[in-house]
Structure 1
Amino acid sequence: MYATASDGTKLYYETAGEGGTPILFVHEFGGNYDAWEPQMSFFARRHRCITYAARGYAPSDIPDDVEKYSQAIAASDALAVLDALGIEKAHVVGLSMGGFATLHFGLRYPERALSLTVAGAGYGTERETADYFRNTSLKVAENFEKDPAGFSKIYALGASRVQFQNKDPRGWATFAERLSRHSAVGAANTMRGVQCRRPSFWDLEEELKRMSVPTLVMTGDEDDHCLQPSIYLKKMLPAAGLAILPKTGHTLNLEEPALFNALVADFIAQAEQGAWKVRDPRADPGQVMRTE
């Protein structure tokens, strides 16, 4: 099944489950729609679940023009999938690149979000590493363009991926094999159009402070370049909670599926009951202890 984006790009999607509120899963750069299988199987018992392949990822369309890829387009593509299914509001769950898309979905279309789960998001947003991230992303784009299957073996062993390999070699092997099937054009354009150009969280401070959609921010404690950005989101978003998974890297939903599912399930349950509220103003971060 395909949704049609605002520019005509076709986006492949799959669904599971018939009852309950909808959950839309948005994948990371290193994944695809099928990387959410542990979540689709689990949440479909009580929810209508949707996963889709981002533009640039087969079987979705793979535009040749890099200008067809951006952070804003990624958010509008998520909306296009919901529109194709006639879904007015959904819980949106995203990892890494998908986490950025989820956050921007909440900033642009808050009326369409029941809640947001922003997991493993932060790469390129830290001021001190922004130039390094952009230059590295351009090099990654070049490498995928030349030899996606060969370079995937290197990319899959990044500093925040080896935790997954150590815990679950079979699961990591499936992740690496999926990565090897990336489109050379799609991967390169995604890196150049989305990753390299997206704004830093710190550039969005005023927008973040105004966005009150219930939000769960998640990161692994060994995903070093997501830790501080995740703490920043916790501080800026009025209705955010922060979960840090111990001894965990970047591929949260596959590396720790049971813990990931439990945290998201509890969060969604609270959000649906109206129990996930904005931070109590008495919890003043400037106060160390109360004296009067």
Structure 2
Amino acid sequence: MENLLLLHGALGSAATLSDIQQALLGKYNVYTLDFSGHGGLAIPQQPYSMDLFSKDILKLLDDRGIQQTHIFGYSMGGYAALYFALQYPERVNSIFTLATKFAWSLEAAAKESKMLNPEKVEEKVPQFAHTLSKRHAPQDWKQVMHKTAEMMQHLGATPALTSDNMPQLQIPVLFGIGDRDNMVTIEETIWAYKLLPNASLLVLPATRHPLETVSVTRITSEIEQFTGNKSLHAATI
């Protein structure tokens, strides 16, 4: 069987991908990981960054003896996957991103990081705060949120993926986006799609940003179709 690595989004953990992982067991050698400082792992002193997360991916592949893998990355996980592939193209068969933000600027970063205020989250959406507390225990979820906000601000000043380096990716990449995503625009997804020589575009109907709102049946079917036929297929809009 071929290898498939599932990468979680910002504030997430490997556990958030468990439904997708379970649905694909027996069809792939499925792997997940918790990025540094997520899912209860020790929070590093250094800032969260694509460099740090890329090292996490490399360590997993090396530790497991995985020479090549397909990658599915949700939100920030998709960004990290593409960044990793730029550094280690020989380790990646293909990448499927879903709900990944590409339009990073100082303004966009300020808007995104403003929503990552632990005190306001605790006050206005206590259930989400409780979920994050359990997800990142025994670590402090508030620190995870602060470091994520700092990473976004850094990306706003210095995006890791640009119109200069993105076209270097020669592997097949499928850019997925929900038509009702209120955090990532279809326009920025199309921008990334048009930069790559072997890219496909998938717009999922009636789909919002949160991963739990995405149909597991639909997304696993799309993963199988994409990885089973790595040639360029028509964009679905």
TM-score, normalised to structure 2, is: 0.85
State whether residues 123 and 133 of structure 1, in contact with CA within 8 Å, keep that contact through their aligned partners in structure 2: no
The number of residue pairs the alignment matches comes to 226
Residue 85 (structure 1) aligned with residue 69 (structure 2): no
What amino acid does structure 2 have at the position aligned with 1:42? A
Residue 118 (structure 1) aligned with residue 97 (structure 2): yes
Residue 188 (structure 1) aligned with residue 146 (structure 2): yes
CA distance in 2, matches of 1:210, 1:73: 21
CA distance in 1, matches of 2:29, 2:212: 18
CA-based RMSD: 2.5
Residue 36 (structure 1) aligned with residue 17 (structure 2): yes
Please point out which of 62, 76, 96 is paired with 2:43.
62
Q: Equivalent residue for 1:71?
A: 50
Q: Equivalent residue for 2:107?
A: 132
CA distance in 1, matches of 2:27, 2:211: 22
Q: Equivalent residue for 2:29?
A: 48
Residue 25 (structure 1) aligned with residue 6 (structure 2): yes
Q: Equivalent residue for 2:174?
A: 216
Aligned with 1:249: secondary structure?
Answer: coil
Structure 1 pair 84–253 and aligned structure 2 pair: CA distance change class (3 A): farther
- Give 5+ residue unaligned stretches, structure 2: none
Q: Equivalent residue for 1:241?
A: 200
Structure 1 pair 91–154 and aligned structure 2 pair: CA distance change class (3 A): same
What amino acid does structure 2 have at the position aligned with 1:100? Y
Q: Which has the larger radius of gyration?
A: 1
Q: Equivalent residue for 1:270?
A: 229
Q: Equivalent residue for 2:77?
A: 98
Structure 1 pair 154–108 and aligned structure 2 pair: CA distance change class (3 A): farther
Deviations 1:57-95 (A, max 9, x none): 1332212x3x33212222221111111111111111101
Q: Equivalent residue for 1:178?
A: 131
CA distance in 1, matches of 2:150, 2:130: 23
Q: Equivalent residue for 2:154?
A: 197
CA distance in 1, matches of 2:98, 2:172: 14
Aligned with 1:206: secondary structure?
Answer: coil
CA distance in 2, matches of 1:220, 1:34: 22
- Give 5+ residue unaligned stretches, structure 1: 1-19, 157-175, 280-292
CA distance in 1, matches of 2:232, 2:47: 37
State whether residues 74 and 99 of structure 2, in contact with CA within 8 Å, keep that contact through their aligned partners in structure 1: yes
Q: Equivalent residue for 2:214?
A: 255
What amino acid does structure 2 have at the position aligned with 1:219? I
Deviations 1:216-267 (A, max 9, x none): 1100011143311210111111111000001111124652211111111100
State whether residues 175 and 202 of structure 2, in contact with CA within 8 Å, keep that contact through their aligned partners in structure 1: yes
CA distance in 1, matches of 2:197, 2:229: 16
CA distance in 2, matches of 1:92, 1:106: 10
State whether residues 219 and 252 of structure 1, in contact with CA within 8 Å, keep that contact through their aligned partners in structure 2: no
TM-score, normalised to structure 1, is: 0.70
